[in-house]
Structure 1
Amino acid sequence: MKEKILIVEDQFVEADYLRLMLTQAGYIIAGIARSVAQAEQIIKSEKPDFVLVDIFLKGKQTGIDLAKQLSADNIPFVYLSANSNEEILNVAKTTEPYGFLVKPFREKDLLIALEIAHYRHKHNQESKWHTEKQLRKELLNIQKEGANWDTKVIETAKVLQKLIPFDCICVKFKPLESRYYSGFLFRRAGFSEYQTIDINSLSNISGRPAEDIKRLLEHSPIDNTARWYNGDDFNKLTSVHPMKALIAKVFGFSSNIVLPFITSDSYMFSLSFFRRSEEGYNPEHLDMLFRLQQPLIAVMNSIPANEKRSALSIHPEFNIITNSKTSNTNPDFGTIIGKSPALLKVMDLIGQVAYSDTSVLLLGESGTGKEKIADAIHNLSTRKNKPFIKVNCAALPATLIESELFGHEKGAFTGAYDKRIGKFEKADSGTILLDEIGEMPLELQVKLLRVLQEKEIERIGGRDTLKIDVRIIAATNKNLEKEVAEGRFRLDLYYRLNVFPIRIPPLRERKEDMPALAYHFMNYYNQKSGKKISGISDNVLKSMMAYDWPGNIRELEHLIERSILLAKGNFIEDIQLPVTQKTSDADVENSYIKTIHENERDYIISILKKCNGRIWGAGAAAEMLNIPPSTLKSRMKKLGIRKEFIP
């Protein structure tokens, strides 16, 4: 049975043309609306399966306003627009449509757009259902395990971060008869690392006396309603909630979502999630929390009453970086380096999509590490022990790319002396990375679309089709929407690939990761060149932070390699950066630059982790650092590195 479709279009001729095409194709028309208000009425009475919505409509509200509500109600929609204004389209994209149709369009374009929208919506729903099922299973395991209360909370946070993005989670609780809450902040310090912050810790970070913070907590209103706050709403919230105002000021948060509940032993709990992004949360996040409410209550019920009572007093031993080892579900991201919020967002998306067979589109500038991300997706998937074939579409001549991808039979063309097995056939049961997909010729894009739709290939000169089972990861540094608009990339292929897009941030958007990346490359090229460079000066790091890195991580790697080869002592004291620097001195001052000692501490800890905490012996930390073990122990003591905290 065909879907029921609502047409939201204020031009009668265009709306009627759409109705005619859809009716002839077998779709049911739920109605035609000329405004958002009319559309809302029809949605309420007819409950359409899909909505075609024009961006510009009669009245004050636009199609984008309606799209936000459709997204909240989980109704898939496709935009109709004759406007190519980039600003409007960028705003429209934030509502996550299932497709765009640019006027004027053909009947074929409309039907393909609906087919792709249906495909994407189905895969999106299946992915969410699978993830939610897995989350419930993991929460049940946390409920059953005999860990202490803070470990259970942190393990719960790890589970929730897969679907509820956050930079910090605040757990507040109190007996029902009590007037005041107690609580802790768990701030993300890495993918599976959390810094536990109590009142004393927050006092040290904020510079406010602990007694002041206790009074703020006592005079803050109770979170007794599940709700989300973005941007202006969050600002209004902080004006009447002094505790959240302090947290927002200290850590730079701009959005919040809250879920309160009561446990069976009469404790009131509140889970409060914070993000730096002003558009951090939406109704779908709140709906997910509601669906997980019972498993979350069960976890809190499993914490013994005596632990809850003791947790109401502040324990200084909680104030550590907690990297719990009780969970075996933490993914291994290989050589992806960094802990910035921008990179953690990417890692969260990898964790969500890796287990499935969904197509992934990696978007990002050259040198941002798209291939590393593809490696992580494959290695975390169920196909990790199967082939992973990588194809650089830009490096293959147009005359050979079809043969490379799909293979050919002997004698298929001049020079085909033997049968050739193509990349897709080699990747059967595994994964294929189509790097620089934006460079693929148009005529080959049609054949790739068939592979995606039919899951079969045909060798050049062959008579039979071959069924294949291949997971596709595509990557590009081009703006594919612009390529579509200019006729160089097929719209249907773009939306088929764009089921799960991941944007890889450029290095200038994750400068917090730069010291860790620099020391990683320093260590690598130290070993490769036989040099004994032990650190990077603060002046060099400051210069690096002031540079915009158009070549991204690849450019950083090459400059560190060059700097090691040119270094005259044991320190990198100079780096030859291009002179086209855009970042102002004020921006540099606002970016936190670690001192030499802080960078040295991080570097020693990273080596100790690689050596499982071993200091002496072959392959141990002292040998890797090329210093005597006694010197290493002395440096660890001076830098406050305690061996028991090295996992």
Structure 2
Amino acid sequence: MKEQILIVEDQFVEAEDLRLLLEQAGYGVTGIARSVLQAQEMIRNKRPDFVLLDIFLKGKQTGIDLAQLLAIDNIPFVYLSANSNEEVLNAAKQTHPYGFIVKPYREKDLLVTLEIARYRRAHSVEAKYYKETELRKLLKAIIGGSGTWAQKLLAVTSALQSYIPFDFLVAGFDNLQQPHFKGLCFLRIGFDEYQVIGAQELCTITGKSIAELVALQGGSSSVQEAVYFDDAAFQHICRQPSLRQLFADTFQLRSNLEMPMRILDRKSFSFCLYSRRPDAYTVEQLELFERIQFSLIQTIEQLLEGEITEQASTQPAGAATIENTHTEAGFEGIVGKSHLLLHVFDHIKQAAPSDTSVLILGESGTGKEMIANCIHNLSARKGKPFVKLNCAALPATLIESELFGHEKGAFTGAHERRIGKFERADKGTIFLDEIGEMPMELQVKLLRVLQEREIERVGGRDTINVDVRFLAATNKNLEKEVAEGRFRLDLYYRLNVFPITLPALRERQEDIPALAYHFMKQYSQKAGKKISGISEQVLLKMMAYHWPGNIRELEHLIERSVLLTKGGTIEEILLPAVEKKEGRAIVEEAALKTIVENERDYILSVLRKCHGRIWGPGAAAEILNINPSTLKSKMKKLGIKKEYIK
């Protein structure tokens, strides 16, 4: 059956040209709408498979308004517009279109875009059911496995993380005062590591009694069906004292998704996922949660009913974790456990197995090339060629020859045939760094490669088919580049299928000590020196610094400090004088305090970052590089009790 397309275009000639073009290509056209209201009426009469819509239409409503309604109805759409200023582009991007065609366009551009949109649509549906099937398999395996209630609930939590990421999860924290209470909380502390927190441990961390927790539970507004709250909505529901508010304040949470359920004897057992990001949850994730609700209910019921072996349960619940003391396979060389970095890991795990194009965004020095390495190494193309090209490192006249190759005599100096990067990357992956620097005339040729998977060497006449996975990176704001006419909008949408944004180092300060020690060990070994530590004063300065050069700047400064250090500890680091005023104020204030005061402040700052955790991977003792018992003694001596949670 032919796919049916609705055209939403208020220019009569353009709309008719589109209709003829689509019908000649084998598509059916359900109609031509001149306005949003007319389009809605046509959709009610006959639901289309796709919608082609212009952004600016007759009437008060725009194509973007219609796109929001189409997204709710799960009808895929492609924008077709001549307008690409930054404001319009930002608004269009928020509606998650399946494509964007810039007027004027070639017939082939339109048809290829529709083919890509069809593929993405089919892939998204396929991926949706694949996720459900895999998650149900995991839940079934957990039921049949061995372990205690806490260990199995931990396994359920870990399974959910792969599909609906979270930083904190509350499972079964219903009816705290009841004897059947089995609730546990799970705080993510690594890529596949969780601190398991029972009611007593929660009392210790928050300084509340069980009676106070019960009272706060009474203040929590209950939900009857699955729902999610983004930043503003989450702040609103956390205004009144409640468990939500307590969790949000204690663990710095900014959004959540809740799934209420009824299990044995109509008892309530909810899953509440929380994130430190303000916009972590989507309608798609909510729908996935709803579709697996019955499987979750069955899993929880069977875990509660079954006789669970108590072996390997000598660890207190508050210390239980899924251990992962080594670097997660595929992420070698990437150091840190901040929630922003873990979110990047989640995206890499999702994107790597497919052949989807990935656009890696972030400031200079944040490690974009390393992320590209991870994606390739975790993909099915591992072991195949991984070819890299920095578009900013070559003159514009040479990039085309580097990418596509050239024939002998194609230009002055071309004394022999040259094989380009795309041919070398065949069956593998190509990574174009700093793609925002690519000249406009080459962007058109790159778009053709992405769409048609074929190239022509410079000076050649034959087309060459290539099978490559495409990764790109830039430190530029491509949306701004598009709005100012320096980057093609259609290429941007073709690249931006799966964007991964890397956080700046100043946004993941808790990773600075671990990164500093990583580079210290690396360069002390390289220099043949026995350097084993970094002074607390140096760490304090590094935590206060703004790091405009990100990880690259930190690496170079540690390398320099290693070379200048004469003893076994780095006692000084030469930070640039250009710092933010607030950062310099922190360092100056620290310099005026006694050593004991500085030590107390630094330990407190680390404890706050670790949410009070003293032992375990990524906990305060590990960051401070001291024994947990030594840290406890220091805390007692310095009078540190519960201030770290304030």
After TM superposition, the score normalised by the length of structure 2 is 0.81
What residue number does 1:319 align with?
318
Contact 1:261 1:297 in 2 (8 A): yes
1:81-480 pair list within 5 angstroms: 86=86, 89-100=89-100, 114=114, 116-172=116-172, 182-217=182-217, 220=220, 222-239=222-239, 242-263=242-263, 268-305=268-305, 317-324=316-323, 331-410=329-408, 412-460=410-458, 462=460, 464-480=462-478
- Change in Cα spacing, 1:502 to 1:219, as seen in structure 2 (3 Å) is closer
The answer to whether the 8 A contact 2:545-2:583 is kept is no
- Do the aligned partners of residues 635 and 301 (structure 1) sit closer, same or farther apart at CA in structure 2, a change above 3 Å counting? closer
Which amino acid in the other structure matches residue 18 of structure 1? A
Once the two structures are TM-superposed, the CA of residue 556 in structure 1 deviates from its matched residue by 1.2
Q: Per the alignment, do residues 244 and 38 of structure 1 end up closer, same or farther by CA in structure 2, a change over 3 Å counting?
A: farther
**Structure 2 partner of 1:538:** 536
Q: Does the residue aligned with 1:189 lie in a helix, a strand or coil?
A: strand
Aligned length: 606
Structure 2 CA distance, aligned partners of 1:596 and 1:209? 23
Q: 1:568 to 1:398 in 2, by over 3 A?
A: same
One-letter amino acid of the counterpart of residue 385, structure 2? P
- Residue aligned with 2:256, SS: strand
Q: Report what 2:630 is aligned to.
A: 638
Structure 2: tracts of 5 or more residues without a match: 588-599, 634-646
Cα separation, 2, equivalents of 1:401 and 1:227: 49
Change (3 A) 1:46 1:541: farther
TM-score calculated relative to the size of structure 1: 0.80
Is 2:392–2:438's contact at 8 Å kept on the other side of the alignment? yes
1:59 Cα shift?
8.1
Deviations 1:548-577 (A, max 9, x none): 222111111111111222234433333222
In structure 2, the CA distance between the partners of 1:413 and 1:354, relative to structure 1 (3 Å rule), is same
Q: Gaps (5+ residues) in structure 1?
A: 611-620, 622-631, 642-647
Query: How many Å separate the matches in 1 of 2:173 and 2:247?
Result: 17
Greater shift after overlay, 499-508 or 145-154? 145-154
Look up the match of 1:74.
74
1:616 is matched with none
Alpha-carbon distance between aligned partners in 1 of 2:228 and 2:465, rounded to the nearest angstrom: 47
Q: Distance in 2 between matches of 1:34 and 1:405?
A: 43
Cα distance between partner residues in 1 of 2:585 and 2:95? 31
Q: Which secondary structure does the structure 2 equivalent of 1:153 belong to?
A: helix
Letter aligned with residue 269 of structure 2: F
Distance 1:53 1:321 in 2: 53
Distance in 2 (CA, whole Å) between partners of 1:221 and 1:372 is 44
- The amino acid of 2:496's aligned partner reads N
Q: How far off is 1:489 after superposition?
A: 2.9
Query: Which range moves more in the overlay, 284-293 or 393-402?
Result: 393-402
Aligned residue in 2 for 1:595: 603
Greater alpha carbon shift after TM alignment, 257-266 vs 465-474: 257-266
| Cα contact 1:548–1:583 (8 A) shared by 2 | no
> For residues 418 and 82 of structure 1, what CA distance do their matches in structure 2 show?
43
Q: Equivalent residue of 1:376, what SS? A: helix
- How far did residue 185 of structure 1 move? 1.2
Whether the 8 Å CA contact 2:22–2:29 is kept in 1: the answer is no
Q: Secondary structure at the match of 1:362?
A: strand
CA distance in 2, matches of 1:246, 1:410: 70
SS in 2 for 1:574: coil
Which among 549, 552, 564 is matched to residue 551 of structure 1? 549
Identify the residue that residue 22 of structure 2 maps to in structure 1. Answer: 25
The alpha-carbon distance between structure 1 residues 148 and 45, as it changes in their structure 2 partners (threshold 3 A), is farther
How far apart are 1:165 and its partner, in Å?
2.5
Structure 1 segment 31-46 matched on structure 2, within 5 A: 39-46=39-46
Cα-to-partner distance string for 1:504-530 (whole Å, 9 max, x where unaligned) = 122222222222111111111111112
Give the Cα separation in 1 of the matches to 2:102 and 2:57: 15
Question: Does the C-alpha gap of structure 1 residues 441 and 86 become closer, same or farther in structure 2, counting only changes over 3 Å?
Answer: closer
CA distance in 1, matches of 2:271, 2:327: 22
Change (3 A) 1:635 1:167: closer
Give the CA deviation at 1:153: 2.3
For residue 595 of structure 1, report the CA deviation from its aligned partner: 3.2
Q: What letter is aligned with 1:477?
A: N
SS at match of 2:303: coil
> Following TM superposition, by how much is the alpha carbon of 1:196 offset from its aligned partner in structure 2, in angstroms?
1.3
C-alpha distance in structure 2 between counterparts of 1:450 and 1:103, whole Å: 17
1:626 aligns with none
Distance verdict in 2 for CA 1:82–1:393, change over 3 Å: closer
Provide, for residues 110-143 of structure 1, a one-character-per-residue CA deviation record: whole Å limited to 9, x for no partner.
6665555445444444444444443343333333
Q: Aligned equivalents of 1:440 and 1:395: distance in 2?
A: 11
Per-residue CA distance 1:334-388 (angstroms, 9 max, x = gap): 1111122221111111010111111111111211100110111111111212221
* Mapping 1:489-568, distance limit 5 Å: 489-568=487-566
**Deviation per CA, 1:567-624, whole angstroms, max 9, x where unpaired?**
34433333222233236269969xx98539969xx9xx9xx999xxxxxxxxxx9xxx
Cα separation, 1, equivalents of 2:208 and 2:220: 16
Matches of 2:281 and 2:234 in 1, distance apart?
11
- Distance in 2 of aligned mates of 1:23 and 1:82: 20
The answer (yes or no) to whether the contact 2:7–2:32 under 8 Å persists in 1 is: yes
Over 3 Å counting, the alpha-carbon distance change for 1:189 and 1:60 in structure 2 is farther
- Letter paired with 1:332: G
Higher RCO structure (Cα 8 Å, ≥6 apart): 2
Q: Which moved more, 1:96-105 or 1:155-164?
A: 96-105
Tell me how far apart the structure 2 counterparts of residues 113 and 546 of structure 1 sit (CA, whole Å): 48
8 Å contact 1:537–1:596 — kept in the other structure?
no
Kindly tell me: are residues 349 and 49 of structure 1, through their superposed partners in 2, closer, same or farther at Cα, counting changes over 3 Å? same
